[in-house]
Amino acid sequence: MPLSIVILAAGQGTRMKSARPKVLHQLAGKPLLQHVVDSSRALEPEQIIVVVGHGADQVQNEMQGQDLQFVEQREQLGTGHALQQCLDHINPGNAVLVLYGDVPLIRAETMASMIEQSRDAAVCILSWEAENPFGYGRIIRNQQAVQAIVEQKDATPEQQAIDECHSGLMLIRGDKLQRLASALKNDNAQQEYYLTDVVGISVADGDLVCAVVCSDPDEVIGVNNQRQLAAVEALYRTRQVEMLMEHGVKIYDPARIDLRGVVEVGKDVEIDVNCIFEGTVTLGDNVRIGANCVIRNTSIAADSVIQPMTSIDEAVIGRNVSIGPFARIRPGTELADEAKIGNFVETKKSQIGRGSKVNHLSYIGDTEMGSEVNIGAGTITCNYDGVNKSKTVIEDGVFIGSDTQLVAPVRVERNATIGAGSTITRNAPADKLTISRAKQVTIGAWSKPKKKEN
Ligand code: UD1
Ligand code: CA
């Protein structure tokens, strides 16, 4: 069945008390709306239409380049009015699945199963039994048959006692779309065109309406205020963490980990408390992550250990590498197998070869480092002259003494040794000791200054 998806995202979200359009508020590092778009892709719809209104430019800007059709709803006169704006854009005859941009945790499988169960109904909705139904549209049934959806503000006290609620998910049969959308009225407490009224209208037309009850209430939480946003964030985290544990990851405390993206894992991975993972992170077999690490868009190969308090951003880490504690690995860092980065070391846009060690208090930037290199404590690559960045090359087997400055562009050749405290401005030849500090002298005719008497 060819399917068109319409995602409603024009509302302001007054209850968020924020200048940002509600659907752009971030959940797990991406906008609420992005979550809905991503899940709906799995249904392979013919088109995805996003209705924008409040902050339309901003929403389109943040969601560009994803093959979405944007339809503007200039005045936000209700969810039904939002769908009406799409009528000219929906591929004729297609069934329409309406999703709300503020219901971000809905799973593709749930949508697919609802579509399957809808059979030939004119309208099919996804409902759930809410623990706290306040604010949601209530499902009115007569015996079993669905009769209508009544919004909170229009509901009688008896209707308010109903705890079966509308999730926002609705499938409308292609041949019913025009009739239902044009029959909506705004004679209700909010003077809005409610999309939910299509249920009552279909029943009055004598058409079949079905409600599929969603078994997982967590999936259908709507985000209308900061409290619900935090609740959804916590649920998302729980979902991700449970998935990791199912893959065999040892998580020291499932309540103290944040996953804002996708984490792929091998076997016997361990993650200590308070770690944050963002973007796409890959952890190989036996990788161990210490407490308080922030890791973003990075792959870490098998047997590597990330010690506590380490920040890693857009890096490629080999096997059996050790990093930290207190290390900062910045974008463009590539660490080969067996490399070692110690405390208070910063690296950026640098390749560090197999088995090389930068153990203490160093900055390595724009550097190509061979294998089995040893960098002494406090070594700095001076890669920036205030205008341009330049490259440092350190070949295999080099030993750099402590507190050395390598002023780029500069090359230290194979197996060279640099004496401690040197400022290296020219290439250092292979296999030789190069040293640039002043000779040590002791001044005989010198005495300590004495305090002046006034
Ligand atoms: C809506 C449903 C309610 C359901 C709940 C589920 C209606 C009338 N009510 O209520 O039955 O239980 O969602 O979370 O549909 N929007 C527009 N244009 C508008 C108004 C809203 O695009 O003119 C968008 C909003 O951006 C939002 C979505 O539609 O993404 C839902 O709007 P909202 O005002 O949050 O509806 P609820 O009161 O939550
Ligand atoms: Ca809502």
How many A from CA of 79 to the centre of ligand 1? 6
Helix axes 32-41, 108-117, angle to 10 degrees: 50
Rounded distance between C-alpha atoms, residue 30 and residue 17, angstroms? 19
Q: Where in the chain is the domain with CATH 3.90.550.10?
A: 3-220
Rounded to two decimals, the pTM is 0.83
How many A from CA of 176 to the centre of ligand 2? 25
In whole angstroms, how far apart are CA 66 and each of 48, 98, 218? 10, 19, 27
Q: Longest C-alpha distance within the chain, in Å? A: 112
Query: Do 192 and 186 form a contact (C-beta atoms < 8 A)?
Result: yes
Residue 271 has a CB neighbour count (10 Å cut-off) of: 29
Q: Where in the chain is the domain with CATH 2.160.10.10?
A: 248-434
Atom of ligand 1 nearest to the CA of 195: 15
Rounded distance between C-alpha atoms, residue 56 and residue 204, angstroms? 36
H/E stretch holding 352 reads strand 351-352
To test ligand 1's pocket by mutation, which of 23, 32, 74, 100 has the most ligand atoms within 8 angstroms of CB? 100
Q: Is the peptide bond before 325 cis (omega within 30 degrees of 0)?
A: yes
CA neighbours closer than 13 Å in the CB half-sphere of residue 105: 25
Query: Do 287 and 250 form a contact (C-beta atoms < 8 A)?
Result: no
Atom of ligand 1 nearest to the CA of 151: 11
Question: What's the fold here for domain 3-220?
Answer: Spore Coat Polysaccharide Biosynthesis Protein SpsA; Chain A (3.90.550)
Rounded distance between C-alpha atoms, residue 122 and residue 207, angstroms? 6
Question: What's the fold here for domain 248-434?
Answer: UDP N-Acetylglucosamine Acyltransferase; domain 1 (2.160.10)
Rounded distance between C-alpha atoms, residue 16 and residue 169, angstroms? 22
Query: Do 343 and 362 form a contact (C-beta atoms < 8 A)?
Result: no
What is the chain's pLDDT, residue by residue, as a tens digit (454 residues)? 799 999 999 998 999 999 999 999 999 889 999 999 999 999 999 999 999 999 999 999 999 999 999 999 999 999 999 999 999 999 999 999 999 999 999 999 999 999 999 988 999 999 999 999 999 999 999 999 999 999 999 999 999 999 999 999 999 999 999 999 999 999 999 999 999 999 999 999 999 999 999 999 999 999 999 999 999 999 999 999 999 999 999 999 999 999 988 899 999 999 999 999 999 999 999 999 999 999 999 999 999 999 999 999 999 999 999 999 999 999 999 999 999 999 999 999 999 999 999 999 999 999 999 999 999 999 999 999 999 999 999 999 999 999 999 999 999 999 999 999 999 999 999 999 999 999 899 999 999 999 998 8
